[in-house]
Chain A
Amino acid sequence: DSGVTQTPKHLITATGQRVTLRCSPRSGDLSVYWYQQSLDQGLQFLIQYYNGEERAKGNILERFSAQQFPDLHSELNLSSLELGDSALYFCASSVIAGTRGEAFFGQGTRLTVV
C-alpha cells in the first residue's frame, strides 16, 4: 500500500459527460501528480500541484482540469468526455517538489467512456 488513495476505482460514463476523480496523497506529501495510462499513449504526465498551486503541466487537454485543496487532496475533472478518454488515471504524491520524479502512486481510477 503506497498510502495514496484514489476514488473511485472504476467509473463508467457516457460520452459528453463530466466526471471527477479524487486523490488523497500520502500523509505529509505536498506534491500531487496526475498521469494517464492508455494503450495507445502509454503513461503520460498530465499535471502537477504543489501545496495548492499548479507547478507543471503536461499533455493535459483543455477539457480536463485539476486542483489541489487546502487539505492537499486533489481532484481531476474531465468534461465533454470522448471515447478516447477511456484510460487508467493515476495520482502520485511526493513529499516536496524538486524530487525529480520520485513519487508514490495510487492504484488508479479506470475510466470507461461508452
Chain B
Amino acid sequence: DTEVTQTPKHLVMGMTNKKSLKCEQHMGHRAMYWYKQKAKKPPELMFVYSYEKLSINESVPSRFSPECPNSSLLNLHLHALQPEDSALYLCASSQEVIAEGGTQYFGPGTRLTVL
C-alpha cells in the first residue's frame, strides 16, 4: 500500500483567512514533503521533514508554515496568502530520507484558490 491522503481536496480562501492543509501516510515512511505545482509546471519543492524534523525549507514565504505533529502527519498552515499562491499543493512521502534518493509517493493534492 503506497497511499498518501490529503485533505481537503479543494480549498477556496480569502487573503485574510487562516486555513490548514493536512497530509497523512501510514506506510512508516521517514520523510515527508510539501510541493507546490502551478499549471503546466513541474512540482516545486517547499519543505522536507526527515524523522519529523524540518530538514529543508526552500526559502518559502512565512505565510506558509509547516508542521509535523508525528511521523504519519504533515500539516501546512496558511495565513495571509496572495492570489498568486493559488496552485495544487502536493504532499509526498518516502521510506528513505532525501539523501538516500528514495522513491517519493504523492498524495492526490489540494487545489487551493486564493481570492
- Do A and B pair up? The answer is no
- Partner-B contacts on A (CB < 8 A): none
